[in-house]
């Protein structure tokens, strides 16, 4: 199919897809194929979003043609019976006159130092403009040369196996997302992206690794094959952090451990746990009273309170019970707080009081150690170890990112005001993102603020989730690059495509991806939507990425995709 004409334009417009009459066997073209429409000085780049059978006379479509002679049957299928493609126009590029013509030199002189680059489609090709499948040069023209700096091969075109790149420089400029239903290989796809970011080395990465998947070597849950951890390949660049003193990750010792000081826990951190702890409406009032009494020591002092009573003798000599001076009730009475509300909050916070990673005096300022590592160009994988509950994940993730946000805002302001060194871009990877970015939580957590406005402070998110429809729509609208595997739920598909042009045409394509190893690229980091066969996370991938080898040869790519021996 390379450079072969597959059809010609027969209709369409800017507000709808172009219609292309197919002149080759329809079985050689698939939905999602990247095609080029050649028209004079311009090339139009588009995506096949639908294929439709048609007939010049419905009678011939209704009658079976196998009773006709072979020559007549072939003529019938090529002329009276036909197939039309719906092509979603994405980009156009000025190619100029034929290089062999006299007009070409005039066009080159007129351009001067300007180099034509793809732009959004602003006009339409005329009727009968020829259409062909995109070749390797077309893919490189739009998605970038795989051998160029900052270009990371995320996968290959499904038909010919041409490499398709993501621009890592653009990728880190805005928040992004990796989506896919459970079992579609989200974790492997995320590992690919993280490896690309770490190899690119122009941004630091903080991975909030709730399920301990990304740091050390692992075993795939379905195939039972070994899975290489990021620490194995980027030894000096990646720091593994365990949650709590003495914590180990799958029996391995992390580089250091994260302990959270009681003085670092704010009342706002507790309010973000309202749903998880089933806190009441009175909780903010009680927390404000605690902070007003003890300031930053409120958590430690509240934890130290008891629920005891003591016996005293009143003026008449009778013995009665009153709250212990160090009790929750005694504090509440003394500071005008509701005793029942304070005691109920004390009961619910026991889940945090008993955690091993919250201590009054940590052995080291491990939060600062994490921030220092990220500022110095290292990457940090925070593994939660045995602390895998939603409560642990919500508290630690929000508290840590709140501290990081403050540090990066300070560095950015110093850079802009006093000319100090420019902050290093930071990408925070958030698993199970809907737990932190749903409609109820988004307004309270630091993550929604990062997604909306922290891009100007060099911090972006990479959210990983199987239920994008549960993520707050305002956050979804801020995502730049979106890499999505198969999604079975219509609401999830709608969420991934929100805010994108041509989403109606792309909806069916996303629903019909293969359950594994096929993804749809969308948004900021790619010039146009495109379904691709994703790379495999295996030894060959690491050899290409770290071994100094360029992109795969076309023969290798085709073999990997299953075409040929």
Q: Are 258 and 358 in contact (CB under 8 A)?
A: no
- pTM, full prediction: 0.87
Summarised one tens digit per residue, pLDDT across range 378-388 is: 999 999 888 88
Helices (H), 389-530: 390-418, 434-437, 439-442, 446-453, 473-477, 490-496, 503-511
Residue 352 sits at φ, ψ, to 5 deg, of: -90, -35
Q: Are 258 and 364 in contact (CB under 8 A)?
A: no
Range 420-423, long-range pairs (CB < 8 A, 24+ positions): 422/458, 423/375, 423/457, 423/458
DSSP one-letter code for 116 = -
Helix/strand/coil for 56: coil
Whether residue 549 has pLDDT greater than 60: no
Summarised one tens digit per residue, pLDDT across range 433-455 is: 888 888 777 666 777 777 777 67
Q: How far is CA 319 from CA 96, 238, 310, 313, in A?
A: 101, 64, 10, 5
Domain ranges of the chain: 5-134, 164-259+362-560, 264-353
CATH superfamily of the 164-259+362-560 domain: P-loop containing nucleotide triphosphate hydrolases (3.40.50.300)
Helix/strand/coil for 84: strand
Distance between start and end Cα atoms, the chain? 19
Summarised one tens digit per residue, pLDDT across range 127-143 is: 999 999 999 988 998 99
At residue 72 the predicted structure's pLDDT band, cuts being 50, 70 and 90, is: low
Instruction: Compute the distance between CA of residue 53 and CA of residue 85 in angstroms, rounded to an integer.
Output: 9
Helix/strand/coil for 240: strand
Q: What is the predicted pLDDT for the residue at 78?
A: 61
Q: Are 496 and 179 in contact (CB under 8 A)?
A: yes
Q: What is the predicted pLDDT for the residue at 556?
A: 56
């Amino acid at each position: 199919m390379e450079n072969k004409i597959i059809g010609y334009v027969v209709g369409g417009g800017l507000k709808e897809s172009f219609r292309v009459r197919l002149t080759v066997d329809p079985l050689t073209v698939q939905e999602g194929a990247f095609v080029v429409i050649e028209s004079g000085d311009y090339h139009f780049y588009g995506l096949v979003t639908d294929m439709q059978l048609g007939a010049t006379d419905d009678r011939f479509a209704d009658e079976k043609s196998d009773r006709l002679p072979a020559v007549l049957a072939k003529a019938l299928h090529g002329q009276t019976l036909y197939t039309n493609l719906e092509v979603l126009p994405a980009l156009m590029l000025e190619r100029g006159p034929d290089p062999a013509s006299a007009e070409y030199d005039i066009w080159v002189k007129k351009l001067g130092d300007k180099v034509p680059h793809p732009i959004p489609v602003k006009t339409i090709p005329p009727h009968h403009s020829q259409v062909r499948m995109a070749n390797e040069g077309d893919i490189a023209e739009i998605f970038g040369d795989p051998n160029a700096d900052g270009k990371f091969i995320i996968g290959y075109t499904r038909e010919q196996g041409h490499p398709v790149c993501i621009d890592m420089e653009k990728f880190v400029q805005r928040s992004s997302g990796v989506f896919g239903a459970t079992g579609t290989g989200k974790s492997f796809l995320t590992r690919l992206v993280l490896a690309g970011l770490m190899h690119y080395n122009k941004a630091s990465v903080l991975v909030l690794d709730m399920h301990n998947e990304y740091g050390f070597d692992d075993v795939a849950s379905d195939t039972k094959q070994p899975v290489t951890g990021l620490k194995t390949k980027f030894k000096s660049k990646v720091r593994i952090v365990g949650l709590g003193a003495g914590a180990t990750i799958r029996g391995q010792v992390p580089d250091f451990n994260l302990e959270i000081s009681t003085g670092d826990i704010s009342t706002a951190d507790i309010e973000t746990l309202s749903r998880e702890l089933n806190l009441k409406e009175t909780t903010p009032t009680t927390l404000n009273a605690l902070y007003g009494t003890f300031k930053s020591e409120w958590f430690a002092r509240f934890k130290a309170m008891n629920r005891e009573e003591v016996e005293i003798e009143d003026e008449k000599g009778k013995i009665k019970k009153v709250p212990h001076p160090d009790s929750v009730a005694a504090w509440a009475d003394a500071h005008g707080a509701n005793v029942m509300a304070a005691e109920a909050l004390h009961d619910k916070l026991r889940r945090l009081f008993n955690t091993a990673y919250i201590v009054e005096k940590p052995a080291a300022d491990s939060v600062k150690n994490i921030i220092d590592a990220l500022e110095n160009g290292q990457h940090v994988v925070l593994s939660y170890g045995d602390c895998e509950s939603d409560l642990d994940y919500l508290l630690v993730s929000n508290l840590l990112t709140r501290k990081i946000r403050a540090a990066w805002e300070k560095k950015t302001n110093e850079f802009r005001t006093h000319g100090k060194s420019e902050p290093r871009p930071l990408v925070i990877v958030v698993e199970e993102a809907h737990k932190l970015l749903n409609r109820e939580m988004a307004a309270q957590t630091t993550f929604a603020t990062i997604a909306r406005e922290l891009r100007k402070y060099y911090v972006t998110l990479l959210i990983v989730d199987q239920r994008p429809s549960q993520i707050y729509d305002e956050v979804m609208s801020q995502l730049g690059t979106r890499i999505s595997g198969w999604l079975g739920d219509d609401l999830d598909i709608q969420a991934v495509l929100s805010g994108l042009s041509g989403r109606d045409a792309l909806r069916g394509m996303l629903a019909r991806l293969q359950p594994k190893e096929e993804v749809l690229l969308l948004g900021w980091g790619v010039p146009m939507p495109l379904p691709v066969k994703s790379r495999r996370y295996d030894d060959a991938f690491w050899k290409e990425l770290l071994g100094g080898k360029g992109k795969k040869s076309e023969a290798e790519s085709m073999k990997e995709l299953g075409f040929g021996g």
